[in-house]
Amino acid sequence: MLLENKIAVVTGNPYGIGRACAELLAHEGARVICIDDSTTGWESAANVAEKLPHHLAEVSDAKALAPVVAEIGKELERIDILVNLAGRATKKRFEETDEATWNTMIARNLTAAFLCSQQFLPLLKKSAGASIINHASIDGFLGNPSLAAYSAGKGGVLPLTHVMAHDLGQYGIRVNSISTGAIRDGAARASDDSRVRVTPSRRTGTPLDVARVVLFLASELSSYVNGANIVVDGGRTAITQGCYED
C-alpha cells in the first residue's frame, strides 16, 4: 500500500471528489479524518474496515475550525497529508453577482485552503515529509461564464500553492495543486454534452480520476514534485479555451 501508516485529513464535501479521495487514501493504508460543514455523507462512506471518522466545521471560518484542529491534535501526534478540497460554486452572471455571493465563494474556494493549511501546520511539521494538495480548477486560469466569484477564488489557489511550496519547503512539506475540468459526481447535466465536445478524451471525468492524482501527490511517487499544478481535464484546456455555456 502506498500510504501505509500515513495520517491524512481531507476537507470538503462528503460526496463526489471528497469522498472518492478519502476512500482511496484509506484503501491505500492511510488513516483518514474528514472535515466539512455537513457530516451526513461521511456516515455512509466506508473505510477499508470501518466508517471514516468525520468532524463538523465550516473550514472557511477560523474560529469554527480551531476547536476541530485542537481536537484532532489531541488525538494525533502528526499529520502527513492534507487535502484541501472544500469548494462551492454559485452560478451568476457578473453583473448579478452580489457582494455576499462574492465573499462566500472566495472564502470557501480560497480562504479555506489557507486557513486549514495554516492551522494544521504544527501537526504537518511533525511529519517526516508531509504533502498538502490544494484543489483548484481550470476555471481558475481560464474563467467560466457566469462563475466570476468561483473562478476568482480558484484562481487564487494557484499562486497560494506556489508561495506555500516555497515557504514550507524548509520543513520538508510539499505543496501542490490539482486543477479539475468537468467532473461528473452525480446525475447527468444538460451541460455535459457541451463539455464533452471540447474534451479530447470525449467524456466527463469521474471523482476517481481526480482521487488517483491526489493519491500520486500524497505518496512518495511524487517525492520531487513540489509547487506544481496538475490539470485533470481530459485534455480540454490543451486545445480550447475551456469555456462552455449551458
Of the pLDDT bands very low, low, confident and very high (cuts 50, 70, 90), residue 99 is very high
User: What value does the mean pLDDT take over residues 89-93?
Assistant: 87
Active site residues: 150
User: What value does the mean pLDDT take over residues 9-28?
Assistant: 90
Checking if the pLDDT of 71 tops 90, the result is yes
User: What value does the mean pLDDT take over residues 45-72?
Assistant: 82
Of the pLDDT bands very low, low, confident and very high (cuts 50, 70, 90), residue 108 is very high
Three-state helix/strand/coil letters over the chain: CCCCCCEEEEECCCCHHHHHHHHHHHHCCCEEEEEECCCCHHHHCECCCCECCEEECCCCCHHHHHHHHHHHHHHCCCCCEEEECCCCCCCECHHHCCHHHHHHHHHHHHHHHHHHHHHHHHHHHCCCCCEEEEEEECHHHHCCCCEHHHHHHHHHHHHHHHHHHHHHHHHCCEEEEEEECCECCCCCCCCHHHHHHCCCCCCCECHHHHHHHHHHHHCHHHCCCCCCEEEECCCHHHHCCCCCCC
Checking if the pLDDT of 24 tops 60, the result is yes
Checking if the pLDDT of 85 tops 60, the result is yes
- Give the mean pLDDT of the chain: 88
User: What value does the mean pLDDT take over residues 85-112?
Assistant: 92
Predicted local confidence at residue 48, as pLDDT: 44
Name the least confident of 17-21, 103-107, 187-191: 187-191
The pLDDT tens digits for 162-217 are: 999 999 999 999 999 999 988 887 655 656 777 787 788 788 889 999 999 999 99
Predicted local confidence at residue 36, as pLDDT: 86
Predicted local confidence at residue 111, as pLDDT: 97
User: What value does the mean pLDDT take over residues 133-139?
Assistant: 95
